[in-house]
Amino acid sequence: MTGSADDLSSAAVLEARDLTRTFDEGRVRPLEHVDVDVHRGETLAVVGSSGSGKTTLLNILGLLDRPDSGHLAVDGVAVDDLPERRRAVLRARSLGFVFQDSLVDPRRTAAENVALALVFAGVPRGDRPQAVDRALASADIGHRAGTLAGNLSGGERQRVAVARAIAHRPAILLCDEPTGNLDETNTERVFTLLESYARSGGAVVMVTHDLDLAQRCSRSIRVAHGAVVTS
Ligand SMILES: Nc1ncnc2c1ncn2[C@@H]1O[C@H](COP(=O)(O)OP(=O)(O)OP(=O)(O)O)[C@@H](O)[C@H]1O
């Protein structure tokens, strides 16, 4: 990530135009002609009823799925005609993912889980130990660096998942119900981490059913009947 708290450029790091995604030969149409911009320094909540298309949108923004039509630029790179190999590199370098159940490897330590993600992100070997320490510390889980992830609590494991997602300083953090399995205290901790990543210059997109959290984001959009509206 090149931005910083002092350099919150207004340029969008995610720009989606006229996205359409349908399933079942067009019978299911979660996204139709949708535009979305996401900027550095912001937390963007994506809300909407179950089945409205939130995950579909997140998957397209995260290069995990392709739209039927439309245009998408990720971290300044137009991806529409990019071959899968280059999409994978962009995904690994510019994007970080946090899911409701982020599936950290229970047989590896917290630090090893984060280090592995740095390998995939192409971070040079010599830079990895410091990046691991920094990420675990900023996710407030540095004191459990050497603990097997399988022995951590659910809240601690999710903080490791956040550390893993931010360790390579991606421009954009995409989160699908990141607090969905957490109690109130851990929800607050994880949300605070995401906010602080945005404050440090990242862009955070968060699908959530938690309307209180959505209200605390800098902006929120609602997916409904194929459209995306600012809510
Ligand atoms: N691969 C697929 N094949 C067929 N239909 C799909 C596929 N993926 C999603 N859908 C359908 O697209 C619609 C939107 O699904 P999506 O998972 O994006 O909703 P959502 O808003 O994230 O829902 P939830 O809040 O329940 O997770 C749903 O009707 C879903 O069944």
pLDDT in tens, the chain (231 residues): 654 444 444 679 999 999 999 999 999 999 999 999 999 999 999 999 999 999 999 999 999 999 999 999 999 999 999 999 999 999 999 999 999 987 899 999 999 999 999 999 999 999 999 999 999 999 999 999 999 999 999 999 999 999 999 999 999 999 999 999 999 999 999 999 999 999 999 999 999 999 999 999 999 999 998 999 887
134 in any annotated domain:
no
153 in any annotated domain:
no
Ligand 1 atom at minimum distance from 53 CA: 18
pLDDT digits (tens, 9 = 90+) for 137-174: 999 999 999 999 999 999 999 999 999 999 999 999 99
Q: Supply the pLDDT for residue 3.
A: 45
Q: Supply the pLDDT for residue 8.
A: 47
32 in any annotated domain:
yes
In this structure, the residues whose C-beta lies within 6 A of any atom of ligand 1 are: 23-24, 28, 30, 48, 50-56
Ligand 1 atom at minimum distance from 52 CA: 21
Residue 121 has φ and ψ, to the nearest 5°, of -80, 0
72 in any annotated domain:
yes
Q: What is the Å distance from ligand 1's center to 85 Cα? A: 26
167 in any annotated domain:
no
The CATH number assigned to the domain holding 224 equals: 3.40.50.300
Q: Supply the pLDDT for residue 5.
A: 42
Are 196 and 4 within 8 A, CB to CB? Answer: no
177 in any annotated domain:
yes
With the most atoms of ligand 1 within 8 angstroms of its CB, the residue from 23, 24, 228 to mutate is: 23
pLDDT digits (tens, 9 = 90+) for 91-110: 999 999 999 987 899 999 99
Q: Supply the pLDDT for residue 103.
A: 86
Q: What is the Å distance from ligand 1's center to 57 Cα? A: 10
With the most atoms of ligand 1 within 8 angstroms of its CB, the residue from 20, 24, 28, 99 to mutate is: 28
Ligand 1 atom at minimum distance from 207 CA: 22
183 in any annotated domain:
yes
Considering its fold, how many domains does the chain have in total? 1
* Residue 46, domain extent: 12-104+173-230
Averaged confidence pLDDT in the chain:
93
Q: Name the residue at shortest CA distance from atom 14 of ligand 1.
A: 53
